[in-house]
Amino acid sequence: AQSVTQLDSQVPVFEEAPVELRCNYSSSVSVYLFWYVQYPNQGLQLLLKYLSGSTLVKGINGFEAEFNKSQTSFHLRKPSVHISDTAEYFCAVSYTGNQFYFGTGTSLTVIP
């Protein structure tokens, strides 16, 4: 079955510390991968996406993610988090570019 797994439902981290949010997907020949962020009381916003090419993708707000085909992973990282990064983060995959499958989300809480 086509799916996305986000193993960590909640990730607390101290301000200015690094963070990694994990995402694994069901393998396929071609895949498009995304990370979306949802701030409280706001709609989802695209953080970054991988379509092809370089496996290291840089997004907004200092986030980056690395596509690892052998491990079927697309983990999101930030070297130093800020209080304003507190939000829900969703990994998503598309196999056709038409339908998008979302993970269950990871709640990132940045502790001052």
Partner 1 sequence: DTGVSQNPRHKITKRGQNVTFRCDPISEHNRLYWYRQTLGQGPEFLTYFQNEAQLEKSRLLSDRFSAERPKGSFSTLEIQRTEQGDSAMYLCASSRGDEKLFFGSGTQLSVL
Tokens 């990370």 found at: 35
Binding test (CB under 8 A) with partner 1, winner from 45, 55, 71, 80: 45
Binding test (CB under 8 A) with partner 1, winner from 46, 56, 83, 111: 46
Smallest separation, CB 103 to partner 1 (Å): 5
Q: In whole angstroms, give the CA distance from residue 52 to residue 96.
A: 13
Residue 90 binding partner 1, by CB under 8 A = yes
Residue 104 binding partner 1, by CB under 8 A = yes
The candidate with the shortest Cα–Cα distance to 77, out of 91, 69, 66, 86, is 66
Q: In whole angstroms, give the CA distance from residue 2 to residue 52.
A: 19
Residue 103 binding partner 1, by CB under 8 A = yes
